């Protein structure tokens, strides 16, 4: 074997090398995202150096929060050569690093405030923007207060989150991002609303709401209606995977049905 040749690798070896599960690699193969290009004499699929390089690109884009469908479109775009891929990834990583550094500074400020015995570490609009991103608009909170401010759910949420510091808000944001990424991946894999997996994802999503107030299955359905009827919610979900907003609404509705709630007549209760 010459210095320019590389040994083709089995799926298990690649999984160990890049730090993902064999199941994940099999899934990426099945959806055409990262397929092994060779076969052994006994019929096992083998990955060459180019295949592994593509997997690394997938991992970087996934780390940046892109849905698998988006990653596939980017990698398969004939107008982008490998060097441009790397330059694009580097630019996106720089943006994420900058956002994380801003979040870290916000957390440091909250720690300092706590050390100064400030008993009301309420997030300012600026701190909210640092944690939730530059697309966070403080007007959303005012709008929500006007709409639900007299409800028990709003009062319960205010009570539960009153003393959350920036680190706690950041933890909630990370968990929500992970849940939404799992939902987007399930949509791309073709998971059907009403299936056991879809119902588990619906419960995971409901748990992110339940952190703030007790969210019944009926209330979850009412919330899901906004995901398709409010353009802001629809844009938020659909930018992660095409059709995610409508799919998530169906997933929530079918999960509610499995718990004895008819989606068509669900009310805020």
pTM of the model: 0.52
* CATH code, 11-89: 1.10.1660.10
pLDDT in tens, 114-169: 554 444 445 555 555 555 554 444 444 444 455 554 568 778 877 887 777 777 77
Reading the chain (269 residues) residue by residue, the pLDDT tens digits are 333 455 789 999 999 999 888 989 999 999 899 999 988 888 788 999 999 999 998 988 887 777 788 888 888 888 877 777 778 778 877 877 877 777 677 666 655 655 544 444 455 555 555 555 544 444 444 444 555 545 687 788 778 877 777 777 778 888 888 898 899 989 988 899 999 999 999 999 999 999 888 889 999 999 899 899 888 888 888 888 889 999 999 999 999 999 999 999 998 86
**What is residue 245's predicted lDDT score, i.e. its pLDDT?**
92
Q: Where in the chain is the domain with CATH 1.10.490.50?
A: 93-265
Residues in CB range of 138: below 8 A, 6 or more apart = 125, 128, 129
According to DSSP, the residues that pair with 46 across neighbouring strands are: 38
Say how far apart CA 32 and CA 108 lie, in whole Å: 43
CA 104 centroid distance within chain:
20
DSSP state of 65: T
Distances in Å between the alpha carbon of 175 and those of 111, 170, 264?
21, 9, 30
116: which 2 tokens? 């100064």
Beta bridge partners of 9: 47
Q: Please check whether residue 107 is in contact with residue 170, taking contact to mean a CB–CB distance below 8 angstroms.
A: yes
Say if domain 93-265 classifies as CATH 1.10.490.50. Answer: yes
Q: Three-state DSSP class for 38?
A: strand
């Amino acid at each position: 074997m010459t210095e320019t040749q590389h040994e083709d690798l089995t799926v298990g070896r690649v999984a160990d090398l890049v730090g993902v599960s064999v199941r994940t690699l099999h899934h990426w193969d099945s959806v055409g995202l990262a397929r092994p290009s060779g076969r052994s004499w006994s019929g096992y699929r083998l990955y060459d150096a180019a295949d592994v390089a593509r997997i690394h690109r997938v991992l970087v884009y996934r780390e940046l929060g892109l849905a698998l469908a988006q990653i596939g479109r980017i990698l398969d775009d004939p107008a982008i050569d490998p060097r441009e891929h790397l330059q694009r990834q580097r630019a996106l990583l720089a943006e994420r690093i900058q956002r994380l550094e801003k979040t870290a500074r916000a957390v440091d400020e909250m720690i300092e405030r706590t050390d100064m015995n400030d008993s009301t570490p309420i997030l300012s609009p600026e701190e909210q923007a640092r944690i939730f991103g530059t697309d966070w608009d403080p007007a959303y909170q005012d709008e929500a207060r006007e709409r639900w401010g007299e409800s028990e759910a709003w009062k319960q949420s205010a009570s539960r989150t009153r003393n959350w510091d920036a680190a706690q808000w950041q933890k909630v944001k990370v968990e929500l991002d992970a849940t939404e990424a799992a939902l987007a991946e399930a949509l791309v894999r073709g998971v059907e609303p009403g299936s056991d997996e879809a119902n588990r994802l619906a419960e995971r999503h409901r748990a992110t709401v339940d952190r703030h107030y007790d969210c019944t299955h009926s209330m979850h359905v009412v919330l899901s209606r906004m995901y398709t009827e409010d353009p802001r919610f629809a844009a938020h979900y659909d930018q992660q995977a095409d059709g995610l907003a409508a799919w998530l609404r169906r997933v929530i509705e079918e999960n509610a049905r499995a718990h004895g709630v008819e989606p068509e007549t669900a009310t805020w209760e």
